[in-house]
Structure 1
Amino acid sequence: MSKEFESLGKFLVQLHARNSDRLQTVGSLKKYWGLRATPRTVGGFDFLFAGDHKVKLERDLADFLKNPRGLTPFYLLDADERKDWVTLIRLIAKDNNKINAEIVSLKQMAGEYKGFGYRYEHPENAGDKHNFFHIQPIRSTDCGAIIPGVENWLPVSYPAFFMMAASSFELILYSIHSLCGWKVVSEYMIRNKLNSAAVDMMLRTAV
């Protein structure tokens, strides 16, 4: 496995563990603690949440990144007490060892969950209007689970936002950058002594 993927797997698990701890310690986020149950049904939305020990999570994610098959469970990417949202991420194996990512953001309102999501995708078939690295809105996950509280009128194939990515590694970093901000990604790149032209462009306006 490449240095990039090895460090990326540990980075994702660190984010997950840090935000899971915050669900226990930050008063306004404690209502989301129930998301850690595995499996869990939230508003009719069935998902397997990554709730295992950190060492096992790192090992399982390393195995997936080394040999992508199926999809990962959801990891807790971000927990924002100011905006009262939690965001989950999972990775999806595609043909030729490519990896897409999808994020689902959830907000608890009056005891019910409302949500939205996006998928980060590789170029699709030649001639297809989505034949470029892109981000698109979703109402359901890759395996067909409807996001709780999502508005039925929301589109699922457009708009498609361009990503200046050229690999699964850069695609996943784009998804993290979208929800966690530039500083988290910048610190990760510096700490692991990694270089990426796409990530440099992503962070350029943040310097």
Structure 2
Amino acid sequence: WSWGNRLLWDYDTSQDEDIYQAYELVRRAGVTVFDTADSYGTLDLNGRAEILLGEFERRYQKELAKNMAPWWDLSGDPSVAARPQQVATKFAAYPWRITRQSIVTAAEESLKRLNQPKLAIAQAHWSTANYQPLQEGAIWEGLADVYDAGLCEAVGVSNYGPRQLRKVAARMQERQVPLATAQIQYSLLTYEAALPMRE
């Protein structure tokens, strides 16, 4: 989430070529799934991570096509590295996103930045249940609407606790929308989620 973030990561556009080199390396290694958010980037660079993912994928596929075997080479299946990227993007619960349509609009804007027709997963970035409970329902309905509109393969949530996860799972089941992911913060810096498992 550092792509486009000047405030925390001192990003500037002169780093884009280095970032592309890292992107190309993981793509050639077979990585196809990328997690991002419409809020990754700061101020005038808001959404920059999605823009870069879109630009990088187009460049990568173009470079890959130049180096592919000729059509008459029937030696096997295309490489995993040639498969298109799958993007899971999170929609920030900005205070002005208070309607379900605002989530659909956010998905459409993400797809424009990515320059692709569909998201792998459309996700709620965080729960608003503790400070703006009415917004929570609009976000859930908006995610389901994104799925119903054919703009994503599945939906997901991020930074949800067990109680809210059960509620959103029940609602998505009612709407017959696949809830595919539930991201939690877990790393060397934030390992609190695993503490109850020690017992």
Structure 1 and Structure 2 fold alike (TM over 0.5): no
Whose radius of gyration is greater, 1 or 2?
2
Structure with higher strand content: 1
Structure with higher helix content: 2
Q: TM-score w.r.t. structure 1 length?
A: 0.30
